[in-house]
């Protein structure tokens, strides 16, 4: 059983009726409902909860954290960002969705600006599988489509990903590395592009399949040793030299 | 002509007579003298100078920055770290030496803890070339040695390097990824392990050769466009969908 | 249940009493016995069997193939090499052990010479975990040792591995990238260095743990689509241009 | 001065008047004329010449080889393929263009099938720069276009490239990793997608710029040591163990 926490800033849904119509209980609930299974236990957390719902108690019971944020990146408390980041470095999996590319958390793990091109014009998005035997692509066809999405285009300012699993073609003429894996310290990180709040992306079955696959991929490796920086005696004799 | 600035915290040399004997003008001067050539112009900067010697004017004239720090990482002003980091992301090359692995600058670019094992017992270090056709290994034999050095051992908590150029064997039984490249935004970064202050490492000709090679490798690619994150109109017509 | 076939040229054991004493039923049996479990079903195959024991029927029931060869690389039939290689490219996992680095199979998958330094002088080998959260390193301590082994040293002429999981320190002064992953088409490949025939390496519990971990890692991703090269109609209208 | 040999099978131009009109002296001459400079010396070679024009004498004077082939891959003598491959492994740069993805040479260096999707329907191709500070992207805008080209689409069955420099958007709905670097032994390899024979692609100034940049990137690192696989004495004493 993998224990997942879906975190959402949960603001657009409360302010914008169009978004509320698509996600009446918030995007976090749509994602949670879409990936819950006999093997995946899901809870949710949002920005307005105490400690943004990301207390040590919650994180103690989280194997993989899913992150959606957009307009309130700056309202996320630096201390919580640091706490979550430490968990990732110590092995908690992390799935960063869509506009989460600009979250403090993701930027601090990447070390780059994470900038990109963007546009809201109802582009068709077609996601191509670049790495067909990757576990995150399991069960997917060679490509799948979203009728309308926000466009994200290159250059996407991230470190070269460890693995490129998906890339997106956009109707308006751009492309994007839309499914990227990164490993940082003991944590596995999957960035997945789709999910603008004004489209029903998190009701799409291929998208939910990718996220569920990502959860399984990002789950911690059992028995992983804590991080360290330590003074350590020689294992072999050192010859005197002077 | 590549313009290099060698930055050194320059404290050990002033406090420890053993270090002062090896580096009477500081490690920064030994490095500067060792890499200066018809193709490489070198200046130096140290912690105690105003703005740590890293003013905008100096950085405007710096193609590649070399960084040595150890006991005073915390004394480096966060604003200067941010300034230097922005320069790196916009294309300035960066060579991080030895204990610089724990500098604020390097850690913020890596996103990991950058921890490692270590020991000061006069280990012999033998550096093996792992990537013999890499420009940073140009002109080097299959391996070269330092009679005595501080030991750094795995696990070294960095993201998987883009390229692994050197690895070190230590007399006491450890090994280490001692020459690693990383590209972050438009900047090229080379981490190079050797250089503990109590040994004459920066007088060694192979070590100086590696640093000079690193300078050439890390120099900015001409004509590189500034970073951006921009809203952008479609390049192709978007079909109306509702 | 993962179905494994352990292939061994099985010549040293029959000719050299010293090897026969360590591996009375062959190295393949020692490996098979060492990794067999409720989750891993193992069979074996050897060079002298018809079609080297690697018939289509056997390969149809093989999820992961383990390969040990040394003195008889040239006696492996090119047609069988081609057959096995096609299986790997279509998703069968492959674990190449020790001197298998010079097999026709491994060289054809790498595209390089796969050369290295070597020496038989009873070196102590110490394997360091370079990637502690990799599934192949699951359950292992920071390092483990083999009292005596053949030395393999850098430069190892392979493409940069996708992941570097282990590196070896040798008593005689060398180091080596001893646990490397590669993905080729739909197949996952793990090269693991230890296993000279005159040492009891395949009776060592950490070594067997690594091989069993490797089997789980290399098992095929379910639902992986066959390879193709195909002419394909447009998904979007093409504007006439002349 | 970098010495380049442009190799072309040179058959389409002699048989198809449409191709001959675009490339009256062959694609190899268009490429040669387009990249020749004070720093790049260019000669050409074609399939019908003795030894396909790739004698040892010619290769002795070649720093970088450019390869265009399509309908006659099978007519390239295996011995010449082996000779050229050995040169690449020993440091000669290689630029493989367009349908050269299916050449014996490229496939033997990759180890995979190198298959892809394709279509000839006058698609517009837009090449996006994925790695803006890579030397091969020097001087290029964020994207550039070819009004008409053959489509190549994912999945492209290559090993994960060391670096992804360009990716192509196609009007018909596909995308492709169109500029990929690989290092194999001491050789640097750049695969660049565009260049179907029925379009004037090799008269396009951005395309020629990319190829010239590729030549500079792929040129051999000076002083690179020949490959070896050698028995080697210990560098440190080995303790007797039995």
Query: What interface predicted TM-score (ipTM) does this complex get?
Result: 0.95
**Residue C228: pLDDT over 80:** no
pLDDT band, residue D225 (cuts 50/70/90) = low
> Which chain D residues are Cβ-neighbours of C224 within 8 angstroms?
none
**Residue A10: pLDDT over 80:** yes
- Chain B CA closest to residue C131: B155
CB contact under 8 A, D132 and B224: yes
pLDDT for the residue D229: 81
Tell me the percentage of chain A whose pLDDT exceeds 90.
95
- CA B162 vs CA A84, B159, C162: distances in Å: 26, 9, 10
- Chain C CA closest to residue D236: C172
Question: What's the CA gap between C218 and A133, in Å, rounded?
Answer: 11
CB contact under 8 A, B172 and A228: no
> Which chain C residues are Cβ-neighbours of B174 within 8 angstroms?
128, 169
Q: CA dihedral in degrees (C77, C78, C84, C88; nearest 10)?
A: 150
**Residue B232: pLDDT over 80:** yes
CB nearest to A238's CB, from B118, B121, B241: B121
- Whether the upstream peptide bond of residue D197 has omega within 30° of 0, thus cis, is no
Mutate to test the interface with B, among D124, D125, D126, D132 (most CBs of B within 10 A): D132
Domain contains C84? yes
DSSP B197: T
> Which chain B residues are Cβ-neighbours of D139 within 8 angstroms?
222-223
Name all contacts of D21-25 with Cβ < 8 Å and 24+ positions apart. D22/D197, D22/D198, D22/D199, D22/D200, D22/D203, D23/D197, D23/D202
Distance from CA of B73 to the nearest CA of D (A): 29
The domain spanning residue A119 has which CATH number? 3.40.50.880
CB neighbours of C214 closer than 8 A, spacing ≥ 6?
A: C95, C136, C190, C192
Question: What's the CA gap between B91 and B82, in Å, rounded?
Answer: 14
**Residue C6: pLDDT over 80:** yes
Token pair 């180091």: residue: C175
| Range name among B165-169, D54-58, D229-233 with the lowest pLDDT average | D229-233
Q: Which residue, D151, D60, D68, is CA-closest to D103?
A: D68
pLDDT for the residue B151: 98
Domain contains C205? yes
> Which chain D residues are Cβ-neighbours of C231 within 8 angstroms?
117-119
- CA B235 vs CA A153, A175, B192, D121, D135: distances in Å: 12, 12, 44, 20, 26
Domain contains B62? yes
**Residue C241: pLDDT over 90:** no
| Range name among A65-79, A80-94, A124-138, A222-236 with the lowest pLDDT average | A222-236
Range of the domain at C155: 2-218
CB neighbours of C14 closer than 8 A, spacing ≥ 6?
A: C20
Mean pLDDT of all residues in A176-196: 97
| Statement: the pTM of the whole predicted model exceeds 0.95 | yes
> Which chain A residues are Cβ-neighbours of D168 within 8 angstroms?
175
Domain contains D183? yes
Supply the DSSP string of A59-94, one letter for each residue: HHT-SEEEEE-STTGGGS-HHHHHHHHHHHHTT-EE
Domain contains C232? no
Distance from CA of D9 to the nearest CA of B (A): 30
CB contact under 8 A, C232 and D162: no
Q: Are A176 and A157 in contact (CB under 8 A)?
A: no
CB nearest to A169's CB, from D129, D142, D173: D173
pLDDT for the residue C226: 67
- Which residues sit opposite A192 in a β-bridge? A97, A179
- Per residue in B64-111, pLDDT (tens digit) is 999 999 999 999 999 999 999 999 999 999 999 999 999 999 999 999
Distance from CA of D143 to the nearest CA of A (A): 9
Mean pLDDT of all residues in C65-86: 98
CB neighbours of B111 closer than 8 A, spacing ≥ 6?
A: A108, A109, A110, A111, A184, B159
pLDDT for the residue B225: 61
Whole-number average pLDDT of chain A: 96
Question: What's the CA gap between D241 and C17, in Å, rounded?
Answer: 20
Domain contains A66? yes
CB nearest to C119's CB, from D117, D157, D233: D233
Domain contains D188? yes
Tell me the percentage of chain D whose pLDDT exceeds 70.
98
Q: What count of Cα atoms within 13 Å lies in the side-chain half-sphere of residue A217?
A: 27
Name all contacts of A27-30 with Cβ < 8 Å and 24+ positions apart. A27/A68, A27/A195, A27/A197, A27/A202, A28/A68, A30/A202, A30/A203
Structure tokens at A58: 């919650």
Structure tokens at C65: 């193939």
Domain contains A180? yes
Mean pLDDT of all residues in A13-38: 98
CB contact under 8 A, B123 and A234: yes
Number of domains in chain C: 1
pLDDT for the residue B224: 61
Structure tokens at A59: 């994180």
Token pair 């995308």: residue: D175
> Which chain D residues are Cβ-neighbours of A132 within 8 angstroms?
155
Question: What's the CA gap between C232 and C216, in Å, rounded?
Answer: 36
């Amino acid at each position: 059983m993998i224990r997942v926490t879906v975190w959402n800033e949960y603001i657009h849904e409360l302010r914008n009726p169009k978004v509320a119509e698509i996600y009446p209980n918030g995007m976090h609930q749509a994602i949670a409902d879409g990936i819950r299974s006999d093997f995946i236990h899901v809870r949710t957390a949002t920005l307005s909860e105490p400690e943004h719902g990301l207390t040590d108690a919650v994180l103690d019971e989280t194997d993989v954290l899913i992150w959606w944020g957009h307009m309130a990146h700056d309202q996320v408390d630096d201390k919580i960002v640091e706490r979550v980041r430490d968990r990732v470095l110590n092995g908690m999996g992390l799935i960063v969705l869509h506009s989460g590319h600009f979250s403090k958390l993701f930027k601090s793990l990447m070390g780059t600006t994470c900038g990109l091109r963007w546009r809201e014009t109802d582009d068709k998005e077609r996601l191509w599988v670049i790495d067909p035997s990757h576990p995150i692509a399991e069960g997917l066809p060679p490509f799948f489509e979203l009728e309308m999405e926000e466009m994200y285009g290159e250059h996407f300012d991230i470190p070269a990903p460890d693995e490129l699993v998906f890339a997106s073609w956009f109707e308006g003429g751009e492309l994007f590395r839309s499914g990227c894996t990164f490993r940082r310290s003991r944590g596995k990180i999957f960035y997945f592009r789709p999910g603008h709040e004004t489209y029903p992306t998190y009701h799409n079955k291929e998208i939910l399949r990718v996220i569920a696959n990502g959860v399984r991929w990002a789950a911690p490796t059992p028995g992983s040793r804590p991080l360290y920086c330590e003074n350590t005696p020689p294992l072999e004799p050192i010859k005197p030299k002077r």
